[in-house]
Structure 1
Amino acid sequence: MIKPLTLREGDRVAIIAPAGPPDKEHLIQGKRVLEKMGLDVVIGQHVFDVEEDLAAVDQKRLSDLQEAFSDPAIRGIFCANGGFGTAKIAAMIDYGMIQSNPKIFWGYSDITYLLNAIQKSSDLVTFHGPMVASDLNDEQRTKETESSFTPLFTGESITYDSHKSPLNVITHGTGDGHLAGGNLTLLTNSLGTPYEVDANGSILLIEEVAEPAFRVDLMLTHLQQAGVFDEVQGVVLGNFQVEPDENLRLRKVFQNFFAGASFPVVENFYFGHCQPNYGVPLGVKAKLSTSPPQLVIDSGVM
């Protein structure tokens, strides 16, 4: 895998919105957070554009993404928020150009589709992490969420344990593999395409937001029947952001689904649709252990 370069104070980074326009005030608030980190932040030309013509929307989103990658002055690309439609532009991307211009690409939720597409088609490490408008605005952000950006500057490895999240072990064990995954709906939707998650030999991350337990069970079953869990070395479940009653049903789904798994399974990592929202590099080596529960991840930058 190709690792992008570490960030330095004064580096220029771009904000793009390939899954839909963000709240403008929230984006400006998040942009200030990146600027306080010492970054020179530019906003993509079409970030706030709203079009009724979906084909025009796709072209504008694609344009901002490819211009950010091709611009040698830009060292990192941070997505504004989630939404919908990234699958449509995945087939239009010039992956050879991205491979020749490796840089940090960061987001989650609907961006999951692009994280996996870019990683598989360009051999570039990508980053599942908090987004500028939805996670760094004044209402949502936490110090812990902001701290997720620090390894981009330091190049340090990352250790997630119960000091960061109250982790629960479903299945004990130890697993080593590359880190993969993202949003459950997007992982399921990408099956059978050139951009489906590379789960073979992976520590697989799975997160979701406000989906009922029966839907989560259905999607996990879909992944299972597609062979996704056949060769994984471990599974890390995020915070699924459901109401308390639904959360009890969801816990039972996980317990039943992963009962007797041959790999370690840990739940309640804070990544994805939650606060704090810890960022992780995808495609790098990782080790999951359960006594005590801990995920150690190699640096995503060089």
Structure 2
Amino acid sequence: MKILPKRLKQGDTIGIVAPASPPNQESLLKSFSFLESLGLKWKLGKHVKDVNGYLAGTDEDRLKDLEEMFADPEIAGIFCAGGGYGTARYADRLDYQLIQENPKVFWGFSDITFLHTAIANYTDLVTFHGPMLASCVGKDTFHELSAKMFQQLFQPMELHYSEAISPLETLSPGVVSGEMTGGNLSLLASGIGTKFEINTKGKILLIEDVGEEPYRIDNLLNQLRLAGKFSDAAGIVIGDFAKAEPKKEPSLSLQEILHHYTANLGKPVLSGFKIGHCEPHFAVPLGAKARLDANEKTLTILPGVE
């Protein structure tokens, strides 16, 4: 049985961690007014301001911040300040028993995908693929819909995505139900062959990425294909692939590559979701039950909190 974290309520304190790269401190500071508008208090991890090259402090310190937030009974949920790189460096040392015994809202995306997958593999906790504080919330581009997505943490609500939000393209027709899983394509590929390899069996797989040229996306999709992740999946949700322009011509287009890998799978595949490194960013609970209808072009997801 999946564990749904307890819903947040006004007056709750959330923990803020930097599990990967150093977050922009100015943007992080700007995000606090949004947290106030939600009625939340916050507590910063001890190492959120640390800089260790492209990492927000040492692996040990980032790991400790995360575990301390899960262990702290005063903390109702955990929001990631940003992504970048580095969560996979300590995933094998994370105390998953601690997380299982102290289930709470855990929210982030991008490099945080590695943690989402690891937590899914070793606990039953539903986690949230959503916009982060420094990299999204604290920026001038933060969209009204992205802000609204945080409401799913305060009351159990079904999420509905249709073409009212963005144009969607059916790459392969069909209707299917299953658990949501996935996230950043590069991180999913980097877990293949490890004990943090994503399990897509009977699930609806979400993929998105940023700054990858078409040939790189081709390579990453092929890796998932060869690992059986597409054949295992019940359906595929294709999110945003920002900054995917080729640096050299000639090149296949992003659409040609997506068609090549997904159009003949014989299962529902729907493309064009504003999920990922984009605004608006439609946040989704990973591990929650969902229904993908590639004929009617809709995605419906059951609540991620109790």
CA distance in 2, matches of 1:256, 1:55: 38
Task: Determine the structure 2 residue equivalent to 1:249.
Answer: 253
AA at the equivalent of 1:292: E
* Between 253-262 and 117-126, the greater mean CA deviation after superposition: 253-262
* Alpha-carbon contact 2:244-2:254 (below 8 Å) kept: no
SS of the equivalent of 2:65 reads helix
SS of the equivalent of 1:60 reads helix
CA distance in 2, matches of 1:226, 1:253: 18
Task: Give ranges in structure 1 of 5+ residues lacking alignment.
Answer: none
Alignment root-mean-square deviation, CA = 1.8
Cα deviation code 1:181-200 (max 9, x no counterpart) = 00000000001111111201
Task: Determine the structure 2 residue equivalent to 1:6.
Answer: 7
CA distance in 1, matches of 2:37, 2:199: 35
Task: Determine the structure 1 residue equivalent to 2:265.
Answer: 261
1:52 offset after TM fit, Å? 5.3
* Between 172-181 and 240-249, the greater mean CA deviation after superposition: 240-249
Task: Determine the structure 2 residue equivalent to 1:119.
Answer: 120
AA at the equivalent of 1:278: F
Cα deviation code 1:25-63 (max 9, x no counterpart) = 100111221121000111111001013597961011001
CA distance in 1, matches of 2:28, 2:106: 17
1:138 offset after TM fit, Å? 3.5
CA distance in 1, matches of 2:207, 2:53: 32
Matches within 5 A, 1:218-237: 218-237=219-238
Task: Give ranges in structure 2 of 5+ residues lacking alignment.
Answer: none
* Alpha-carbon contact 1:83-1:110 (below 8 Å) kept: yes
Task: Determine the structure 2 residue equivalent to 1:50.
Answer: 51
1:17 offset after TM fit, Å? 0.3
Closer/same/farther in 2, CA of residues 244 and 89 from structure 1, 3 Å limit: closer
State yes or no: 1:271 paired with 2:279.
no
Task: Determine the structure 1 residue equivalent to 2:25.
Answer: 24
* Alpha-carbon contact 2:85-2:111 (below 8 Å) kept: yes
CA distance in 2, matches of 1:78, 1:274: 18
1:291 offset after TM fit, Å? 2.7
State yes or no: 1:77 paired with 2:54.
no
CA distance in 2, matches of 1:244, 1:183: 18
Task: Determine the structure 2 residue equivalent to 1:214.
Answer: 215
CA distance in 1, matches of 2:152, 2:116: 18
Cα deviation code 1:159-201 (max 9, x no counterpart) = 1111112111111111111100000000000011111112011
SS of the equivalent of 1:148 reads helix
Cα deviation code 1:131-161 (max 9, x no counterpart) = 0011101422110110110111111111111
CA distance in 2, matches of 1:48, 1:55: 7
State yes or no: 1:109 paired with 2:113.
no
CA distance in 2, matches of 1:37, 1:227: 41
CA distance in 2, matches of 1:127, 1:56: 24
Matches within 5 A, 1:145-156: 145-156=146-157
Matches within 5 A, 1:167-206: 167-206=168-207
* Between 57-66 and 116-125, the greater mean CA deviation after superposition: 116-125
* Alpha-carbon contact 1:217-1:253 (below 8 Å) kept: yes
CA distance in 1, matches of 2:159, 2:53: 42
1:259 offset after TM fit, Å? 2.5
State yes or no: 1:285 paired with 2:289.
yes
CA distance in 2, matches of 1:24, 1:69: 23
Q: Percent identity?
A: 43
CA distance in 2, matches of 1:192, 1:244: 29
SS of the equivalent of 2:194 reads coil
Closer/same/farther in 2, CA of residues 183 and 55 from structure 1, 3 Å limit: closer
* Between 187-196 and 244-253, the greater mean CA deviation after superposition: 244-253
CA distance in 2, matches of 1:219, 1:244: 16
* Between 208-217 and 47-56, the greater mean CA deviation after superposition: 47-56
* Alpha-carbon contact 1:13-1:39 (below 8 Å) kept: yes
CA distance in 1, matches of 2:78, 2:47: 14
TM-score w.r.t. the length of structure 2 is 0.95
* Alpha-carbon contact 1:181-1:205 (below 8 Å) kept: yes
* Alpha-carbon contact 1:134-1:140 (below 8 Å) kept: no
